[in-house]
Amino acid sequence: MKHIAIGILGAATLGLMASAATAGTLDTVKAKGFIQCGVSTGLAGFSAPDDKGDWKGLDADFCRAVAAAVFGDGSKVKFTPLSAKERFTALQSGEIDLLSRNTTWTSNRDSALGLDFVGVTYYDGQGFMINAKKLPGVNSALQLSGAAVCVQSGTTTELNLADYFKKNKMEYNPVVFEKLEEVNAAYDSGRCDVYTTDQSGLYGIRLTLASPADHVVLPEIISKEPLGPAVRQGDDQWAHVVRWTYFALLNAEEAGVTQANVDEMKTSNDPNIQRMLGTEPDGKYGSDLGLSNDWVVNIVKAVGNYGEMFERNVGSGSPLKIARGINALWTKGGLQYGPPIR
């Protein structure tokens, strides 16, 4: 009976996914007039509401970029805050159209869970944060044997934590919570010695603690965490729209097209820029995607290029002040690379 029940549940899930995909997400989104975008419940720099309730961050801005590509208006988006446990079901069931929530691209998620990742908007890796006043002299994760470690359930973080301590023959006491806010509160109150998550997240969480200066992010990176947006499998047109929104952000930065100069750049004689901005005679790169030919112009006007998004939300213009590092363009020694629009 147990196997029958599991089979029925699996068939029902696949049926929901197939139904959502068959309807055509782009057409559904256009008909309702907005994109429903799944984000975190609050992670500084990536997706978190400000004191006015407006969602800010790299992931939130990516949602706006997709809305701008589809509607010519980056405000045509509604945000659904989701825990790590809720996020995949929300996408599979059609509750959201797009998941843009500091989510790691893995083989299991890209296959068995019925998701399609469209790119890596932030290359990250898992790290550890400690209260240096409580653990004086600790400057390496290899000194953490026997520690109580705060971690969020339903994440690759939880799995990587177990792998790291097993590999290094160390003991630890996991202190596990489903919601990010619960993990933050437990660590800040001293219920655990260590906080582990993506290193970018640690820098953001550190700013929210009662005494940020007391806390130190250790140097070790113990995993690859390519974070990026995902859509449901089986809807190629929608996947293309979201994927090429990401590529457009990168190509705009590489070409020097910014929020401030995009209108001026529409008069450029550079064929690459003409194709990108929809001014090439008889160009149809937007219509190929089911969008207007000025789709990239609309994206850049709404959120800027990728570099502007990065610096504003997590980089030098933000409280996090994270260096571009491997998230720089390929032309500057990084991994970010956008295929050509042509």
The pLDDT of residue 104: 95
- On the question of pLDDT at 264 being above 50, the answer is yes
Greater pLDDT, 3 or 57:
57
- Report pLDDT digits (tens) over 131-171: 999 999 999 999 999 999 999 998 999 999 999 999 999 99
- Report pLDDT digits (tens) over 188-223: 999 999 999 999 999 999 999 999 999 999 999 999
Burial call 138-151: b when 16+ CB within 10 Å, e when fewer: beebeebeebbbbb
Contact partners, residue 81, CB within 8 Å, separation at least 6: 39, 40, 41, 42, 47
> What's the CATH number for 25-123+227-332?
3.40.190.10
Closest by CA to 61, choosing from 315, 255, 325, is 315
- Report pLDDT digits (tens) over 81-135: 999 999 999 999 999 999 999 999 999 999 999 999 999 999 999 999 999 999 9
Which residue in this structure is represented by tokens 């699996």? 10
Reduced 3-state DSSP string for 38-95 = EECCCECCCEEECCCCCEECHHHHHHHHHHHHHHCCCCCEEEEECCCCCHHHHHHHCC
Distance separating alpha carbons of residues 189 and 184, to the nearest angstrom: 9
- On the question of pLDDT at 10 being above 60, the answer is no
CA dihedral sign of residues 232, 37, 238, 20: positive
How many angstroms separate the Cα of 117 from the Cα of each of 61, 171, 184? Answer: 17, 34, 28
> What's the CATH number for 126-223?
3.40.190.10
Q: What are phi and psi of 263, to 5 degrees?
A: -65, -40
Burial call 207-224: b when 16+ CB within 10 Å, e when fewer: eebeeeeebbebeeebbe
The pLDDT of residue 282: 87
The pLDDT of residue 96: 98
pTM of the predicted model, to two decimals?
0.88
Distance separating alpha carbons of residues 81 and 340, to the nearest angstrom: 33
Closest by CA to 156, choosing from 111, 132, 129, 124, is 124
Looking at the chain, the domain(s) classified CATH 3.40.190.10 span: 25-123+227-332, 126-223
The pLDDT of residue 321: 92
